Amino acid sequence: MTEKRISAGILGTGWAVPDKVVTNQDLTRLVDTNDAWIVERTGIRERRVAEDMPVSELAYRAAKMALDDAGTAPEELDLIIVATLTPDRVIPSTACVLQDRLGATRAAAFDLSAACSGFAYASTVAGQFISNGMYRKVLVIGAETLSKVVDWTDRNTCILFGDGAGAAVYGPVEDGYGLLSFDLGSDGSGADVLDIPSSGSLNPVTAQTLAQRLNFIHMDGKAVFRFAVDIMGKTVESSLAKIGMEKESIDWLVPHQANIRIIKSAAKRLKLPLEKAIINIEHYGNMSAASIPVALAEAAHAHRFKKGDIIALAGFGAGLTWASCIVKWAKED
Ligand code: UT7
């Protein structure tokens, strides 16, 4: 292990979404809802649905794009972390599936479970390995096919979620750039507020749990909303406080895309004009662990960030969990 901490930052980004678009209008054929309600209460107009595609396919496409963008060969990767709540299978990890498909012959691989906070959690983990000098190149992916765990007869949830994947290659960057700070948190007392009740050893899938539709996402939307409006701004404030940075220093907020009202409230608390928040919820809905990296990658490839910009990534989700990272953008445009 080296003595000096190495600055770890983003070398390249990528994203992928399925082609199939499901509009709010399409959903009115499945549940009692309407476009006006969904747009006003959530900001969502449409979402992507993977249909037959497994999550590893979306993750693979996002990863390839990020590796190309970073100029990194798969053989250079030391580690692959996939943040997901919709893996291909419980075992093997989706990260292992990717390791093989990418030809990342030297890489260790594991999945990380922190729901919608997963990408910020995984980015923080990647940063530790690079900063202590043990690893040089880490691929972090947030990927979801939530359409496969959503109850398409439940209007409280099916309007919200979508499928996609975003990826970032982390590696050593110029001193003082990259990941500057982070805040990770959990409150397991809120475990039942947002869960898939029959999905593991607590309540294994049986004919009965399937009949009760317990293999789908269940959510107390109001409880999650209350938690989210408080935590999203608060976690960024905690990350900033650790490095003595003021809110005014933030150039961009890349928030978890759960609800436009939650994003607006976080931006207000951080005294950030809404134009400084990267928002794509209108087109993709809530892609859980993929929300932040897809927004980040789209913005990066649209040349919205310049070297030295201070970017706050902020997420919250099932667990309950929350996470934020402060990143000083290290890439030359
Ligand atoms: O990644 C984290 C995951 N989850 C979240 O972040 C979700 C956080 N929560 C939310 O975003 C919001 O709570 C929702 C968007 C889920 C719901 O919005 P809300 O403003 O909290 O609505 P509500 O649940 O209080 O429902 C208001 C009304 C109810 O009717 P009544 O009782 O007032 O007559 C609902 O039955 O709207 C009705 N409603 C709907 N109407 C049309 C609920 N869902 C729908 C729907 N279409 N899809």
pLDDT category of residue 332 using cuts at 50, 70 and 90: confident
67 Cβ contact partners less than 8 Å away, ≥ 6 residues apart: 12, 14, 73, 74, 102, 139, 169
Looking at the fold, whether 162 and 203 belong to one and the same domain comes out as no
Looking at the fold, whether 22 and 171 belong to one and the same domain comes out as yes
Q: Is the pLDDT of residue 116 over 80?
A: yes
The total number of structural domains in the chain stands at: 2
Looking at the fold, whether 168 and 185 belong to one and the same domain comes out as no
| pLDDT, average across residues 108-132 | 98
| pLDDT, average across residues 196-215 | 97
Q: Is the pLDDT of residue 4 over 90?
A: no
Residue that finishes a domain, picked among 149, 176, 203? 176
Measured from the Cα of 155, ligand 1's closest atom is: 48
Looking at the fold, whether 20 and 163 belong to one and the same domain comes out as yes
Predicted local confidence at residue 43, as pLDDT: 98
Structure tokens, 182: 């982070």
Looking at the fold, whether 132 and 191 belong to one and the same domain comes out as no
| Distance from the alpha carbon of residue 227 to the mean position of ligand 1, in angstroms | 15
Q: Sort 162 into a burial class: Cβ within 10 Å, 0-12 / 13-18 / 19+.
A: buried
Q: How far apart are CA 172 and CA 221, in angstroms?
A: 40
Does residue 305 lie within any of the structural domains?
A: yes
Residue that finishes a domain, picked among 154, 176, 198? 176
Looking at the fold, whether 207 and 118 belong to one and the same domain comes out as no
Looking at the fold, whether 189 and 296 belong to one and the same domain comes out as yes
Looking at the fold, whether 31 and 163 belong to one and the same domain comes out as yes
pLDDT category of residue 333 using cuts at 50, 70 and 90: confident
Question: The domain spanning residue 35 has which CATH number?
Answer: 3.40.47.10
136 phi-psi bin (left φ>0, alpha ψ -120 to 50, beta other)? alpha
Q: How far apart are CA 211 and CA 29, in angstroms?
A: 22
Give me the chain's average pLDDT, please.
97
The DSSP annotation for 66-97 comes to: HHHHHT--GGG-SEEEEE-SS-S-SSS-HHHH
Looking at the fold, whether 75 and 161 belong to one and the same domain comes out as yes
Q: Is the pLDDT of residue 137 over 60?
A: yes
Q: Whose CA is nearest to atom 40 of ligand 1?
A: 33
- Tally of CB atoms within 10 A around 275: 9
The answer to whether 168 and 123 are in contact (CB under 8 A) is yes
Q: Whose CA is nearest to atom 35 of ligand 1?
A: 156
Choose, from 259, 283, 286, 325, the residue flagged as catalytic. 286
The answer to whether 166 and 151 are in contact (CB under 8 A) is no
Residue that finishes a domain, picked among 141, 156, 176? 176
Looking at the fold, whether 26 and 170 belong to one and the same domain comes out as yes
Containing structural domain, residue 138? 8-176
Looking at the fold, whether 288 and 172 belong to one and the same domain comes out as no
Predicted local confidence at residue 3, as pLDDT: 66
Q: Is the pLDDT of residue 126 over 60?
A: yes
Q: Is the pLDDT of residue 1 over 90?
A: no
Q: Is the pLDDT of residue 2 over 80?
A: no
Does residue 320 lie within any of the structural domains?
A: yes
Q: Any residues with Cβ below 6 Å from ligand 1, and which?
A: 33, 37, 41-42, 116, 155-156, 159, 194, 219, 221-222, 224-225, 228, 258-259, 286, 288, 317
Q: Is the pLDDT of residue 106 over 80?
A: yes
In this predicted model, what pLDDT tens digit does every residue of 69-98 receive, in sequence order? 999 999 999 999 999 999 999 999 999 999
Q: Is the pLDDT of residue 188 over 90?
A: yes
Q: Whose CA is nearest to atom 36 of ligand 1?
A: 156
| pLDDT, average across residues 248-256 | 98
Q: What is the pTM of this model?
A: 0.97
Does residue 3 lie within any of the structural domains?
A: no
Examine the residue annotation and report whether 256 is marked as an active-site residue of this protein.
yes
Looking at the fold, whether 169 and 201 belong to one and the same domain comes out as no
Does residue 1 lie within any of the structural domains?
A: no
Does residue 198 lie within any of the structural domains?
A: yes
- Tally of CB atoms within 10 A around 242: 12
- Tally of CB atoms within 10 A around 80: 30
In this predicted model, what pLDDT tens digit does every residue of 141-155 receive, in sequence order? 999 999 999 999 999
Measured from the Cα of 318, ligand 1's closest atom is: 2
